[in-house]
Structure 1
Amino acid sequence: MVPAYIRIHDAIKRQIDQGVWEIGQRLPSERDLADDYEVSRMTLRQAITLLVEEGILERRVGSGTYVAGHRVQEKMRGTTSFTEIVKSQGKKPSSSVISYQRKLANDSEMKRLGLKASDYVIRMERVRFADDIPLVFEVAAIPEKLIRHFKREDITKHFFKTLTDNGYEIGKSQQTIYAKNANDRVAKYLSIPKGQAVLALTQVSYFADGIPFEYVHSQYVGDRFEFYLENN
């Protein structure tokens, strides 16, 4: 027999999917919901807690429980540009370039991009947005020899499209995800409190022939962005 709190969980989720409660809408009080579903407040609270953990609902201290906004999602398979991810979910992508510099490759960049100590990279810092909401602070390193004939705007605004438009075939990527706390600088750019947990990601992207072309270290706002795995 399905536990009562699971049945309540499924019923609330179904109502949200059907638009009975819309994104950002405040749910009735736990007392009222418990009466509606004819269960104890403890059982109702179990269902709500599970929905909060799944990111479907969110609790706001002193205010109540609300239907959470949908997070931007990235499927952890293959290599896809941030711009295309955001567009695919009906949102408007944009970015703000913090710095764009020609630098000698550091140890990490040499290792991941197969460069020599005498090789230069274009190291770019930027904040990336969906519908003008900051999602990620990103530091990208790209071998200078690869992009020296491209305009800066081609790199900062639509790098992957620039590559494919010039005959490059995008291949796989290798990604590592871990948790960390945002420092002062990152917190400021992402409009979050200092010390808030963020999802950190390092990614090396490759052409179809196996040559690496970009090394990125990103920090995502966890309640605005999520990764999910899909296995065949």
Structure 2
Amino acid sequence: MKAAYITIHDKIKDDIDLGIWKIGQRLPSERDLADEFGVSRMTLRQAITLLVEEGVLTRKVGSGTYVASTRVQEKMRGTTSFTEIIQLQGKTPSSQLLSYIKTQPNEKERQMLHLDSKENIVRMERVRFADGVPVVYEVASIPERLIQNVKKEDVTNHFFKTLTDNGYRIGKSHQTIFARLANDKVARLLDIKKNQAILALRQVSYLEDGQPFEYVNSQYVGERFEFYLENN
């Protein structure tokens, strides 16, 4: 049997998903909600606190509790850059570059990018933000031959646009999503707690001719980002 605060947590979250509570809408007071659910204010507060920690709700000092509006959505269809996704949500994208190196690929990178034994890659490590809030930590691997005459800034700031500007046509992508726990490094970079559940994404993106041009391992803050499927 679920604890009372978990039941309340699930009901409020379901109501938000159904649109009963709108993004940015202020919730009733804890006293009124406690009365509505027939529980103590302490029990009600446990449910609200958990929803705040998950990023579903947000507290504003002296004002109340509101449905949060910081979660970004990505439609799992086609190949779209993070920058485009964030801009389509009406938010401002930005990145913090942690490393950018030319190196030999490891076996997994060689396999995913269809590289021969003599080819090098550029591996870049970044934190990506939406309106200044850290959303994802990613490590991207790119065949060096595709960007050897491209400025580093053009690769790190708008890689997909740089490819299309240079005559390449973006094709499909293959994505694998799974759950994992944030380690010390990821927790620090994304401003979350160690061992917090996060969404991990492995993605290989291809040009229209079937040539893979990017292999990315990403770790998303679950309460700030969600994936959804859309079928034709």
- Give the shorter-chain TM-score range: 0.7 to 0.9
What's the CA shift for 1:131? 0.5
TM-score, normalised with respect to structure 2: 0.80
TM-score, normalised with respect to structure 1: 0.80
CA distance in 2, matches of 1:118, 1:219: 30
Shifted more, 111-120 versus 140-149: the winner is: 111-120
CA distance in 1, matches of 2:16, 2:199: 31
How has the CA–CA distance of structure 1 residues 115 and 186 changed in structure 2, closer, same or farther, with 3 Å as cutoff?
same
2:28 maps to what in 1? 27
Task: Render the CA deviation track for 1:163-193: whole Å, top value 9, x for unaligned.
Answer: 1111111000000011111111111111111
Aligned pair 1:41/2:38, yes or no?
yes
Task: Render the CA deviation track for 1:77-96: whole Å, top value 9, x for unaligned.
Answer: 00000000000001000001
What's the CA shift for 1:41? 2.5
CA distance in 2, matches of 1:12, 1:78: 25
What's the CA shift for 1:26? 4.5
Query: Partner amino acid for 2:57?
Result: E
CA distance in 2, matches of 1:33, 1:197: 28
What's the CA shift for 1:197? 1.2
Percent of counterpart pairs with the same letter? 57
CA distance in 2, matches of 1:226, 1:11: 15
Counterpart mapping for 1:221-232 below 5 A: 221-232=221-232
Q: What residue ranges of structure 2 are gaps of 5+ in the alignment?
A: 1-9
Aligned pair 1:16/2:16, yes or no?
no
2:128 maps to what in 1? 128
Paired residue secondary structure (1:95): strand
How has the CA–CA distance of structure 1 residues 142 and 73 changed in structure 2, closer, same or farther, with 3 Å as cutoff?
same
Counterpart mapping for 1:162-177 below 5 A: 162-177=162-177
CA distance in 2, matches of 1:12, 1:130: 21
What's the CA shift for 1:70? 3.9
Query: Partner amino acid for 1:219?
Result: Q
Query: After TM superposition, which residue ranges in structure 1, 4 or more long, deviate above 3 angstroms?
Result: 9-17, 55-60
CA contact (8 A) 1:106 1:117 kept: no
Paired residue secondary structure (2:112): helix
Query: Partner amino acid for 2:117?
Result: A
What's the CA shift for 1:67? 1.5
2:86 maps to what in 1? 86
Counterpart mapping for 1:1-232 below 5 A: 16-17=21-22, 22-23=24-25, 25-29=26-30, 32-33=32-33, 41=38, 57-58=56-57, 66-232=66-232
CA contact (8 A) 1:140 1:216 kept: yes
Query: Partner amino acid for 2:155?
Result: I
CA distance in 2, matches of 1:222, 1:88: 19
Task: Render the CA deviation track for 1:47-96: whole Å, top value 9, x for unaligned.
Answer: x89xx6xx895388xxx864222410000000000000000001000001
Query: Partner amino acid for 2:38?
Result: R
Q: What residue ranges of structure 1 are gaps of 5+ in the alignment?
A: none
CA contact (8 A) 1:105 1:118 kept: no
CA contact (8 A) 1:27 1:67 kept: no
Task: Render the CA deviation track for 1:10-59: whole Å, top value 9, x for unaligned.
Answer: 69965633x7xx35x45322x52476xxx6527xx8xx89xx6xx89538
Query: Partner amino acid for 2:207?
Result: F
